[in-house]
Amino acid sequence: MKTFFIETWGCQMNELDSQRLSGGLKLRGYKRVDDERAASLILLNTCSIRDKAEQKVFSRLGELRELKKETAAQIGVCGCLAQQEGQRIIDRAPWVDFVMGPGNVGYLDEILAGEHRVALEFPEDRRYDYDALDRTSATKAWVTIIEGCNKNCTFCIVPTTRGREVSRPFEGVLQEVRAAVATGRVEIELLGQTVNAYRCPQSGRDFGALLSAVAEVEGVNRLRFMTSHPAEVSDSMIVAMRDHANISRYLHLPVQSGSSRVLRRMKRLYSREKYLETIGRIRAAIPEIHFSTDVIVGFPGETDEDFEQTMSLVEEVRFGSMFAFKYSPRPGTPALKIGEPVDDAIASERLTRLFELQERHKRERLESYRGRVVPVLYEGPSRHDPEMLSGRTDDNWVVNFRGDARVPLGSMLGVRIEQAQHHTLRGEAVA
């Protein structure tokens, strides 16, 4: 019996690639196992966005070397680190059987047949077989609409690891959405590195048009998308969100820095003022929106003054959620040439201050739900307490609540919020 074990790091695009790999393997007669010791094929689907992610992969490969001596499993390294390091992975860990970049997920047969030990191209036709997707959630489906990235932010490895930007045809996306709905997925999340740069290669229709079309597919109860680039926020996107109640009132809009000087050096294509203006435009149309963001601290040459600008921008926007990281130099990226490294202790201190500020804003937002009855899309039992049910609000907060577990998964329930917890809300379903 051919069996496989797959381990995934990184973002949703990688999670989705793992679902594609897993589905493809099942079609080819493999059975998925949760114990790597029982696997004849082990896949590591890797991330290389920051150095830490990269280090973890190499230490895992060290462990697998020992395992392979016992089980003789075939080992494949996939994902962004595979693309970034290519042959060097095999040089460093010769017990790895193949290395395959994100452009090759649709080419399993060739790879399993041993035709390529190192597969790093981005083929013109990126095969995309959504019928073979092994979706892990019963209520939610991820749907890729655009692959790669053309933005070339100076700190970022993604344009190297994920290739040039390619949008999928409009009709293909809609077909996949309809197929997902037919299998009970009431929630759709559209994915791309810069999802709102979408443009149909055949008809030229933009992201706003696609959002509206997907939102109008019968049976889509909730529509989300990730990640939007601030310079690509168009009026058509805002109008589509405003006019469709089933589009999540949540927008992840990575700012990276509040200093226009740093943003220029990052090549983010917007200034502080432009970002704030974009936030204002969206809020004017959708006042209840929950904004989340990404911030990098300690980018080369970031001064105290630059960092204070980030703090004041965060204070002004009051993001509900934030992912913040210390700058991590990535091989071959333009930011390496800037020099001017920020002292690690200073970067750590900045990160701590930023998190403290952000905690206050998150708390304010979470506390504002107390006593209110909010619609929640029911996803299943709570992860930490099987007695409780779990779901998400329109604006993407996790709610754990008491209620009748017999209601169908994917139902929209009214939940009275009793308590705000660290990252989540707690309450009880009401009739």
* Binding of residue 191 to ligand F3S (CB under 6 A): no
Q: Residue 146 binds what, of ligand F3S, ligand SAH, none (CB under 5 to 8 Å, by partner type)?
A: none
Choose which of 26, 32, 50, 318 interacts with ligand SAH (CB under 6 A). 50
* 61-69, 93-101, 149-157, 340-348 -> range binding ligand SAH (CB under 6 A): 149-157
CB of 148 to ligand F3S, least distance (A): 9
Query: Is residue 108 within 8 Å of 78, Cβ to Cβ?
Result: no
When the beta carbons of 50 and 68 are compared against ligand F3S, the nearer one is 50
Q: Residue 296 binds what, of ligand SAH, ligand F3S, none (CB under 5 to 8 Å, by partner type)?
A: ligand SAH
When the beta carbons of 178 and 267 are compared against ligand SAH, the nearer one is 267
| DSSP code string of 64-83 | HHHHHHHH--EEEEEHHHHH
CB of 192 to ligand SAH, least distance (A): 8
Residue 269 in 3-state DSSP? coil
* 24-32, 154-162, 356-364, 372-380 -> range binding ligand F3S (CB under 6 A): 154-162
* 27-35, 148-156, 175-183, 416-424 -> range binding ligand SAH (CB under 6 A): 148-156
* 111-119, 204-212, 327-335, 336-344 -> range binding ligand SAH (CB under 6 A): 327-335
Residue 221 in 3-state DSSP? coil
CA–CA separation, 20 and 15 (whole Å): 9
Query: Is residue 157 within 8 Å of 84, Cβ to Cβ?
Result: yes
Which residues fall within 8 angstroms of residue 284, CB to CB, at 6 or more apart? none
CB of 58 to ligand F3S, least distance (A): 23
* Binding of residue 229 to ligand F3S (CB under 6 A): yes
When the beta carbons of 277 and 294 are compared against ligand SAH, the nearer one is 294
Amino acid at 230: P
CA-only gyration radius of the chain, Å: 22
* Binding of residue 153 to ligand F3S (CB under 6 A): yes
CA–CA separation, 302 and 318 (whole Å): 22
| DSSP code string of 95-145 | T--EEE-GGGGGGHHHHHTTS-SEE----SS----GGG-----SSEEEEE-
Which residues fall within 8 angstroms of residue 94, CB to CB, at 6 or more apart? none
* Binding of residue 152 to ligand F3S (CB under 6 A): yes
* Binding of residue 134 to ligand SAH (CB under 6 A): no
The residue sitting closest to ligand SAH, measured at its beta carbon, is 294
CA–CA separation, 95 and 116 (whole Å): 15
When the beta carbons of 220 and 296 are compared against ligand SAH, the nearer one is 296
* Binding of residue 156 to ligand SAH (CB under 6 A): yes
Q: Is the dihedral of CA 393, 396, 399, 403 positive or negative?
A: positive
Which residues fall within 8 angstroms of residue 66, CB to CB, at 6 or more apart? none
When the beta carbons of 276 and 373 are compared against ligand SAH, the nearer one is 276
Q: List phi, psi (to 5°) of 379.
A: -110, -15
Query: Is residue 325 within 8 Å of 286, Cβ to Cβ?
Result: no
* Binding of residue 272 to ligand SAH (CB under 6 A): no
Choose which of 75, 158, 237, 313 interacts with ligand F3S (CB under 6 A). 158
The residue ranges that bind ligand SAH (CB under 6 A) are 49-50, 149, 155-156, 158, 193-194, 227, 229, 254, 256, 294, 296, 325, 327-328, 330
The residue ranges that bind ligand F3S (CB under 6 A) are 149, 151-153, 156, 158-159, 193-194, 229
